[in-house]
Amino acid sequence: MDTAWEKAKFKRPKRKIIDSLFRLAAFSSAVLVVVILTLILMTILIRSLPALKLSMIIRTPGTGYYLGHEGGILNAIVGSLELISGATLIAFIIALPGVIYLNTYLKKNSPFSEAVRFSLDVLWGIPSIVYGVFGFLLMLAWHLRASLLAGMVTVALVELPILSRAMDETIRMVPSEIKEAAYSLGASRWQTAIRVILRQAFPGIITAVLIALGRGLGDAASVLFTAGYTDRLTTSLFQPVATLPLAIFFQLNSPYPEVQQRAYASAAILTFLILLISLVIRFFSRKLSRHKIK
Amino acid sequence: MKKEKVRRLISASAMLFPLLLTVAILTSLVLKALPIISLKSLPTLIFSSAWQPQKGHFGLWPFILGTLWVTITAFILAAPVAIFTSIYLAEYAPGKLKKILAPGLDLLAGLPSVIYGLWGILLIVPFISKYLAPLFSSYGSGYSILAAGIVLAVMILPTIINISVEVLNSVPTELKEAALALGATKFEVIYYVAMKKARPGLIAACALGLSRAFGETIAVMMVVGNVPEVPHTLFSPAYPLPALLANNYGEMLSIPGYDSILNFAALLLLLIVLIFSLMSRLYLNRLKRRS
Amino acid sequence: MVERGRLSLRNLNVYYGRNQVLKNINLDIPKNSLTVIIGPSGCGKTTLLKCFNRLLDEIEEARVEGQVIVDDQNIYDPGVEVTLIRKKMGLLSQRPQVLPMSIYDNVAFGPRLLGQKDKSYLNPLVEKYLRLAGLWEEVKNRLNEPANRLSIGQQQRLCLARGLAVEPEIILGDEPTSALDPQSSRNVEAHLLSLKTNYTIVLVTHILRQAKRLADYVAFLYLGELIEFGPASEVLVSPRDPRTRAYITGEIS
Ligand SMILES: Nc1ncnc2c1ncn2[C@@H]1O[C@H](COP(=O)(O)OP(=O)(O)OP(=O)(O)O)[C@@H](O)[C@H]1O
Ligand SMILES: [Mg+2]
Q: Which chains touch C (3 or more CB pairs under 8 A)?
A: A, B
For residue A273, what pLDDT band results from cuts at 50, 70 and 90? very high
The parts of chain B modelled with pLDDT lower than 70 are 1, 252-253, 288-291
In the beta sheet, which residues pair with residue C68? Answer: C9
CA distance B174 to chain C (A): 7
How remote is the CA of residue C21 from the centroid of ligand 1, in Å? 8
C1 versus A103: the higher-pLDDT residue is: A103
C127-184 pLDDT, tens digit each: 999 998 889 999 999 999 999 999 999 999 999 999 999 989 999 999 999 888 888 8
In the beta sheet, which residues pair with residue C16? Answer: C19, C62
Per-residue pLDDT for C30 more than 70? yes
Residues of chain C positioned with their CB less than 8 A from the CB of A6 = none
Q: Which of B89, B175, B182 to mutate to test the interface with C (most CBs of C within 10 A)?
A: B182
Q: Which of C19, C202, C206, C222 to mutate to test the pocket of ligand 1 (most atoms within 8 A of CB)?
A: C19
pLDDT at B290: 65
Phi/psi region, residue A51 (left: phi>0; alpha: psi -120 to 50; beta: rest), is alpha
Question: DSSP letter at B24?
Answer: H
How remote is the CA of residue C218 from the centroid of ligand 2, in Å? 17
In chain C, what percentage of residues exceed pLDDT 90? 64
Please, are residues C214 and C192 in contact by the beta-carbon 8 Å criterion?
Answer: yes
**Does residue C42 have its Cβ closer than 6 Å to ligand 1?**
yes
Q: Which of C12, C15, C38, C47 to mutate to test the pocket of ligand 1 (most atoms within 8 A of CB)?
A: C47
Give chain C's contact residues with A (Cβ, < 8 Å).
Answer: 81, 83-84, 87, 111, 113-116, 121, 167
Q: Find the angle CA(C140)-CA(C145)-CA(C147) to the nearest 5 degrees.
A: 95
pLDDT at C4: 64
d(C-alpha B217, C-alpha B265), whole Å = 13
d(C-alpha C230, C-alpha A282), whole Å = 55
Kindly list the distances between the CA atom of residue A25 and the CA atoms of A21, B82, B87, B159, B179, in Å, as whole numbers in the listed order.
6, 11, 10, 20, 22
Tell the residue nearest (CA) to atom 22 of ligand 1. C46
pLDDT at C115: 85
d(C-alpha C15, C-alpha C47), whole Å = 10
CA distance C182 to chain B (A): 23
SS (H, E, C) B249-278: CCCCCCCCCHHHHHHHHHHHHHHHHHHHHH
d(C-alpha B209, C-alpha B277), whole Å = 8
How remote is the CA of residue C42 from the centroid of ligand 1, in Å? 5
Please, are residues A211 and A203 in contact by the beta-carbon 8 Å criterion?
Answer: no
- Give the pairing type, strands C170-174 and C200-204: parallel
- For residue A124, which of C59, B22, B201, B127 has the smallest C-alpha distance? B22
For residue A281, what pLDDT band results from cuts at 50, 70 and 90? confident
Environment class of B42 (CB within 10 Å of its CB; exposed 0-12, middle 13-18, buried 19+): exposed
DSSP H or E run through C65: strand C62-70
Q: Which of C113, C114, C122 to mutate to test the interface with A (most CBs of A within 10 A)?
A: C114
In the beta sheet, which residues pair with residue C14? Answer: C22, C64
In the beta sheet, which residues pair with residue C67? Answer: C10
Contact C163 B182 (CB under 8 A): yes
| DSSP code per residue over A78-118 | HHHHHHHHHHHHHHHHHHHHHHHHHHHTS-TT-HHHHHHHH
For residue A1, what pLDDT band results from cuts at 50, 70 and 90? very low
Residues of chain C positioned with their CB less than 8 A from the CB of A4 = 111, 114, 116, 167
Q: Which pTM was predicted?
A: 0.90
In chain A, what percentage of residues exceed pLDDT 70? 89
Residues of chain B positioned with their CB less than 8 A from the CB of C92 = none
Please, are residues B238 and B66 in contact by the beta-carbon 8 Å criterion?
Answer: yes
- Give the pairing type, strands C62-70 and C73-74: antiparallel
pLDDT at C196: 87
Kindly list the distances between the CA atom of residue B258 and the CA atoms of A223, A228, B33, C156, in Å, as whole numbers in the listed order.
21, 21, 10, 67
**Does residue C16 have its Cβ closer than 6 Å to ligand 1?**
yes
Least confident of A200-204, A224-228, B262-266, C128-132: A200-204
pLDDT at A185: 67
pLDDT at A190: 65
d(C-alpha B185, C-alpha C96), whole Å = 20
Tell the residue nearest (CA) to atom 1 of ligand 1. C59
- CATH number for the A56-291 domain, one of 1.10.3720.10, 3.30.70.580, 3.90.550.10, 1.10.357.10? 1.10.3720.10
The full set of domain ranges for chain A reads 2-48, 56-291
Residues of chain B positioned with their CB less than 8 A from the CB of A163 = none
d(C-alpha A215, C-alpha A124), whole Å = 12
User: Residue B195, Cβ neighbours under 10 Å: how many?
Assistant: 20
Beta-carbon contacts of B214 under 8 Å, excluding residues fewer than 6 positions away, are A127, B67, B71, B269, B272, B273, B276
pLDDT at C123: 94
d(C-alpha A83, C-alpha A247), whole Å = 14
d(C-alpha A62, C-alpha A70), whole Å = 6
Contact C101 B196 (CB under 8 A): yes
Handedness of CA B277, B279, B282, B286 (dihedral sign): negative
**Does residue C223 have its Cβ closer than 6 Å to ligand 1?**
no
Which candidate from B172, B180, B185 shows the least CB-CB separation from C58?
Answer: B180
Kindly list the distances between the CA atom of residue A69 and the CA atoms of A48, A251, C54, in Å, as whole numbers in the listed order.
17, 13, 70
pLDDT at A293: 42
How remote is the CA of residue C47 from the centroid of ligand 1, in Å? 6
**Secondary structure (3-state) at B226:** coil
Per-residue pLDDT for A270 more than 90? yes
How remote is the CA of residue C46 from the centroid of ligand 1, in Å? 7
Give the B window 33-62 contacts with A, CB below 8 Å: none
Protein fold of B62-290: MetI-like fold (1.10.3720)
For residue C45, what pLDDT band results from cuts at 50, 70 and 90? very high
Kindly list the distances between the CA atom of residue A258 and the CA atoms of A243, A265, A272, B87, in Å, as whole numbers in the listed order.
20, 11, 21, 44
Residues of chain B positioned with their CB less than 8 A from the CB of A147 = none
Please, are residues A282 and A266 in contact by the beta-carbon 8 Å criterion?
Answer: no
A127-174 pLDDT, tens digit each: 999 999 999 999 989 998 899 999 999 999 999 999 999 999 888 887
Kindly state the greatest CA–CA separation across chain B: 78
Q: Report the residue of chain A nearest C84, measured CA to CA.
A: A8
User: Residue C161, Cβ neighbours under 10 Å: how many?
Assistant: 26
Kindly list the distances between the CA atom of residue C198 and the CA atoms of A31, C78, C201, in Å, as whole numbers in the listed order.
49, 30, 9
Which candidate from B22, B190, B218 shows the least CB-CB separation from A119?
Answer: B22
d(C-alpha C95, C-alpha A226), whole Å = 58
For residue C253, what pLDDT band results from cuts at 50, 70 and 90? low
pLDDT at A186: 64
**Does residue C59 have its Cβ closer than 6 Å to ligand 1?**
yes
Interface confidence (ipTM) of the complex: 0.91
pLDDT at A294: 36
d(C-alpha C195, C-alpha C146), whole Å = 27
d(C-alpha C179, C-alpha C94), whole Å = 7
Kindly list the distances between the CA atom of residue C99 and the CA atoms of A15, B173, B194, C204, in Å, as whole numbers in the listed order.
20, 12, 9, 23
Q: Find the angle CA(C161)-CA(C162)-CA(C166) to the nearest 5 degrees.
A: 105
- For residue A284, which of A200, A210, A194, A175 has the smallest C-alpha distance? A210
B291 has a chain C CB within 8 A of its CB: no
**Does residue C94 have its Cβ closer than 6 Å to ligand 1?**
no
A71-101 pLDDT, tens digit each: 788 999 999 999 999 999 999 999 998 888 8
Q: Report the residue of chain B nearest C162, measured CA to CA.
A: B182
Q: Which of C13, C46, C204 to mutate to test the pocket of ligand 1 (most atoms within 8 A of CB)?
A: C46
How remote is the CA of residue C38 from the centroid of ligand 1, in Å? 14
